[in-house]
Amino acid sequence: MVRSIPLAVFLFVATYAWGQNLVVNPSFEITSTNCAAFGGEGFFTDLTGSWDNASSNVLGDSCSSPDLFSSCNLIFGIPGPTHMPSSFLGFQYSRTGTRHAGIITHEILSQYREYIQGRTSSPLVAGQTYCVSMYVSRGDNVPFATNNIGVRFTNAPFFRDPCPGGNNSLIELPPQLNYACEAITDTSGWMRLQWDYVASGGESYFVIGNFFNNGNTIIETVGGGFLNPFAYYYIDDVSIVPSSCCYADLVGPTTYCVDDALVTLVATGGVGTICDGTVTGNWSGPGITDPSLGTFDPQVAGVGSHTITFTLACGFAATMQVTVGPCTTLVVCVDGTTGELTASNGVGPYTWQNQTTIQDCSACLFGCFLPPNCAVDVLSWTTFATGNTIPTPAGYPIQLIDGAGTILLITDPSLLPSCSPCPTIVVDVTDQLNVLCFGGNTGAATVEASGGDGSYTYVWTPGSLNGSTQSTLLAGTYTVTATDGAGCTGTTAVIITGPASPLQVQLVNVTGASCAGGDGTATISTSGGTGATTIVWSPVGGNGTTATGLDEGSYTVTVTDANDCTASLVVDVPSLEGPTIDGVVSTPSACVPATGTITITATGNGLEYSIDGIVFQASNLFNAVAGGTYTVVVRDTNGCTSTASVTVAVPASPVPVTTGPEVGCIGEELSLTTTGPFSSYDWSTGDNDAVTSVTQTGVVTVTVTDAQGCTGTSAPFAVSFEGPTAAFSTTPASPQLPGTTVDFFDASTFTGGPITSWSWDLGNGGNANTPDASWTYDEPGQYVVTLVVTTANGCTDSVTMTYVIRPADITIPNVITPNGDGMNDAFLIENIEFFQNELAIFDRWGIIVYEKKDYRNQWKGEEQPEGTYYYVLVLEDGREFTGHLTLLR
């Protein structure tokens, strides 16, 4: 991180009334060589007599080597490792002067520490309270931040023993004072540490550093700078003052434009024993509008340089200079004889700067050459003169900065106006229009300047308006300043007038109208405005202060003055006659039939009553009224009416709730009920009982009627039926020969819960409980195989098929004897039942005497004579058998 000197900081003077700083060389500015030595200054070589490093300094002891940062630490003109502001540890200006110290408070993987030891100009007095303070800032190019920066007092110089080895230079002795708050991470500003210390007496030396080991130190990794693997802090302005700490630093900008917004100034105190640096006090000085908050108003302060003071309750006061400028364009003129330049139109002091080129080495790790190309040339401005008037500059461009921070760039002196005494500049008002209506901004004016040099610029105040013509002015007095090309000015006052008071309308009196209408009146009065007024009533009423012949209703009266300014008022004309409704009461109604009543109490002549505004009756009682809200109307003999609203309550509608199982198995019947009892039920299933049966998936509702005739419908109740559909396949397909192993594969599907169990009956005593089964059939037969599946919800289904194991061959006889003796009576073909077939039997003349598809040993030849017959048998596998058959009785 690169720091730069702030261009706008509070310049403040702190007032202490309690004594001098006892620290010898508190800001490290007094050195032995005073920048005379080659390479600059060092902590050991140049601070002898005021500061030491708290080490025994025996040969080879490098336990503690603090640094002195100085602006003269140059090597062959290049910034050295401890140059101020550009060093190996980062970029930092000293808080005061050109020097400051620096120490390591933590190093990675070790207990390495660095300390500095100072002394006081006289021993501390026992029992006396001292304010001990210093300013610290973390180095840019280090990766760590810590807390624990403390102070340990001694009566004699303290020198720790030589390093015990292992980079352990920790002085593990308790400090009297220590900063134990969060790690200090700020690398741009200086942070004040302060404590109140009650002296034991005789203390003349003090050591500053981290007196705690790594385990008792807050260590934060903040990134960057890993070539310097430690936490490093700059130290400046060490102070020991005989009093309690009473101090504040002031923060914020110091230059403002006169039309800038309000700003809240900020004061901060030190931290140490406490971790919150907030301080409270009283602000004073020009432009301070809230002394407790520190609110500063540049317009109230006005153009110029002002001293602002912040005072603590303990008596400490800090002052700063703030500059408020007009923030208008600066003017520079040139003396044609001497060539001198003169500044004007700003606020002093004036600073003159010329443009130079400097080398920025803030990105370098060593000097201005490592790493290569780390240094860059940047343009900068250097002050070469101050004051209103300066001699002829040596060259251009130059820039002028006034005390308010306004900048004017000058590139060519020939473009500057000549300096000469200002003539009288006259500013005339050439056109003016005053405000017509009170509070309006319709005022306008045009001014014109004469007598000056070149063109003019115009500024109107209040409002900081620019230009010769303004067109939205309020009534009031404006000061117009005209500035010519040479910066000479002239002023005039423009007075915009307007009405002294607003145009107003007041109601004086109003009389009501009868229900027949046309006899109401209203009277008003007017005030303010300009000149004569005109009055208009709307929608009727005429043009005077009193409107007559009015009906009941609202009327708007508008008053216009001579400048076309208007004011209006709404007047309500009431009705004077008509019946008066004194009260309306009702009794509740059943839902069905309507049993409510409405009773109206009213006063008037010849009254009639209605609850719908259409049908009127003489009685004020209405029976058999259904629930709802009614507008009752009372009408007298003149036709005048009055209305009121009344509500006839009804019982709440019943809210039936359907209960029962939501899920069933396919084929089941579920029963649903509802809360009750009720007078009647109307289920969406068609049932009209308190219970309904459901066999299909769907949504069921029930509409019920209670004893009051009120109906209500339940919320939809979803019912679903689920279960499996059993199915399986075989490999190979039926029929097969004996010895065949058949694989049965589950092909079942399901809705709802998944299938969780299988039960196979393989037809010959075999069974299985797995999704798939396998069985070997050794004997011919027709085996009935059944699969039963069950889902997780307990729903089941089954499927059955016949698997055929048939013999390899059939046996065909050649003789039958159908004589009824029960032996060989039919044409019996062995194993024919296992084959699909077609059989045809012929007599000896080729005539078909019997024909059958899928023959199953039925033919006995009862109607045929004895003799020889011929057959043709075709099996499903394509085999064909032919032969002869002898039939004997």
Whether the pLDDT of residue 375 is over 50: the answer is yes
pLDDT the model gives residue 759: 95
Query: Is residue 516 in some structural domain?
Result: yes
pTM for this structure?
A: 0.46
Whether the pLDDT of residue 572 is over 80: the answer is yes
pLDDT the model gives residue 60: 46
**Number of helices and strands in the chain (H, E):** 2, 75
pLDDT one-digit tens code per residue, 679-696: 999 999 999 999 999 999
pLDDT the model gives residue 7: 31
Query: Is residue 43 in some structural domain?
Result: yes
Whether the pLDDT of residue 657 is over 90: the answer is yes
User: Are residues 697 and 587 located together in one domain of the fold?
Assistant: no
The residues, ordered by sequence, that sit 6+ positions from 639 with a Cβ below 8 Å of its Cβ are 515
Give the total residue count for the chain: 889
Whether the pLDDT of residue 48 is over 60: the answer is yes
Helix (H, G, I), strand (E, B) or coil at 515: coil
Check: CB of residue 844 under 8 Å from CB of residue 868: yes
Whether the pLDDT of residue 752 is over 90: the answer is no
Two tokens, residue 758: 């299988």
Q: Reply yes or no: is the peptide bond before residue 326 cis, omega within 30 of 0.
A: no
User: Are residues 253 and 208 located together in one domain of the fold?
Assistant: no
Instruction: Give the sign of the dihedral formed by CA 117, CA 119, CA 123, CA 124.
Output: negative
User: Are residues 117 and 189 located together in one domain of the fold?
Assistant: yes
User: Are residues 713 and 733 located together in one domain of the fold?
Assistant: no
User: Are residues 764 and 620 located together in one domain of the fold?
Assistant: no
**E strands along 434-473, which residues?**
443-450, 457-461, 465-466, 469-473
Query: Is residue 593 in some structural domain?
Result: yes
Strands 815-816 and 880-887: parallel
What is the rounded CA–CA span in Å between residue 254 and residue 11? 8
User: Are residues 86 and 165 located together in one domain of the fold?
Assistant: yes
Dihedrals phi, psi of 518, to nearest 5 degrees: 85, 10
Check: CB of residue 879 under 8 Å from CB of residue 808: no
Q: Reply yes or no: is the peptide bond before residue 732 cis, omega within 30 of 0.
A: yes
Reported as a pLDDT band with limits 50, 70 and 90, residue 49 is: confident
Whether the pLDDT of residue 2 is over 70: the answer is no
User: Are residues 615 and 730 located together in one domain of the fold?
Assistant: no
What is the mean predicted confidence (pLDDT) over 858-869? 89
Reported as a pLDDT band with limits 50, 70 and 90, residue 464 is: confident
Cα 129 to Cα 16, 122, 244, 316, distances in angstroms: 15, 15, 6, 16
Check: CB of residue 287 under 8 Å from CB of residue 321: no
Q: Reply yes or no: is the peptide bond before residue 393 cis, omega within 30 of 0.
A: no
Which residue in 66, 188, 199 sits closest to 132, CA to CA? 199
Q: How many domains does the chain have?
A: 9
Tally of CA atoms within 13 A in the half-sphere of 692 that contains its CB: 22
Whether the pLDDT of residue 748 is over 80: the answer is yes
What is the rounded CA–CA span in Å between residue 267 and residue 277? 9
User: Are residues 607 and 629 located together in one domain of the fold?
Assistant: yes
pLDDT the model gives residue 163: 63
Helix (H, G, I), strand (E, B) or coil at 577: coil
Reported as a pLDDT band with limits 50, 70 and 90, residue 6 is: very low
Query: Is residue 653 in some structural domain?
Result: no
Report, in angstroms and rounded to the nearest whole number, the Rg of the chain calculated over CA atoms: 57
pLDDT the model gives residue 161: 67
pLDDT the model gives residue 555: 93
User: Are residues 635 and 662 located together in one domain of the fold?
Assistant: no
Whether the pLDDT of residue 819 is over 90: the answer is no
Reported as a pLDDT band with limits 50, 70 and 90, residue 58 is: low
pLDDT the model gives residue 225: 63
What is the mean predicted confidence (pLDDT) over 351-357? 89
What is the rounded CA–CA span in Å between residue 887 and residue 889? 7
User: Are residues 741 and 788 located together in one domain of the fold?
Assistant: yes
Reported as a pLDDT band with limits 50, 70 and 90, residue 244 is: very high
Query: Is residue 13 in some structural domain?
Result: no
Reported as a pLDDT band with limits 50, 70 and 90, residue 604 is: confident
58-67, 204-213, 390-399, 799-808: which has the minimum mean pLDDT?
A: 58-67
Query: Is residue 789 in some structural domain?
Result: yes
pLDDT the model gives residue 9: 36
Query: Is residue 190 in some structural domain?
Result: yes
What is the mean predicted confidence (pLDDT) over 637-654? 88
What's the one-letter identity of residue 88?
Answer: F
What's the one-letter identity of residue 750?
Answer: F
What is the mean predicted confidence (pLDDT) over 88-113? 90
Cα 399 to Cα 329, 486, 511, distances in angstroms: 13, 18, 80
CATH of the domain at 545: 2.60.40.1080
pLDDT the model gives residue 787: 95
What is the mean predicted confidence (pLDDT) over 531-552? 91
What is the rounded CA–CA span in Å between residue 777 and residue 742? 8
What is the rounded CA–CA span in Å between residue 707 and residue 699? 27
What is the rounded CA–CA span in Å between residue 92 and residue 820? 135
Check: CB of residue 288 under 8 Å from CB of residue 437: no
What is the mean predicted confidence (pLDDT) over 443-472? 91
pLDDT the model gives residue 176: 96
Whether the pLDDT of residue 480 is over 90: the answer is yes
Whether the pLDDT of residue 10 is over 60: the answer is no
Domain hosting residue 627, numbered range = 580-648
Last residue within a domain, chosen from 722, 757, 773? 722
Last residue within a domain, chosen from 525, 550, 573? 573
What is the mean predicted confidence (pLDDT) over 821-833? 88
Which residue in 463, 460, 436 sits closest to 447, CA to CA? 460
Reported as a pLDDT band with limits 50, 70 and 90, residue 36 is: confident
User: Are residues 865 and 825 located together in one domain of the fold?
Assistant: yes
Last residue within a domain, chosen from 805, 839, 861? 805
What is the mean predicted confidence (pLDDT) over 358-369? 63
CATH of the domain at 793: 2.60.40.10
User: Are residues 231 and 191 located together in one domain of the fold?
Assistant: yes
pLDDT the model gives residue 164: 60
CATH of the domain at 227: 2.60.120.260
CATH of the domain at 613: 2.60.40
Query: Is residue 9 in some structural domain?
Result: no
Check: CB of residue 645 under 8 Å from CB of residue 629: yes
Report the mean per-residue pLDDT for the chain: 88
Reported as a pLDDT band with limits 50, 70 and 90, residue 167 is: low
**Strands across the sheet containing 465-466:** 465-466, 457-461, 476-483, 489-496
In SS3 terms, 808-863 reads as CCCECCCEECCCCCCCCCCCCCECHHHCCEEEEEECCCCCEEEEEECCCCCCCCCC
pLDDT the model gives residue 4: 27
pLDDT the model gives residue 129: 95
Reported as a pLDDT band with limits 50, 70 and 90, residue 366 is: low
pLDDT the model gives residue 43: 85
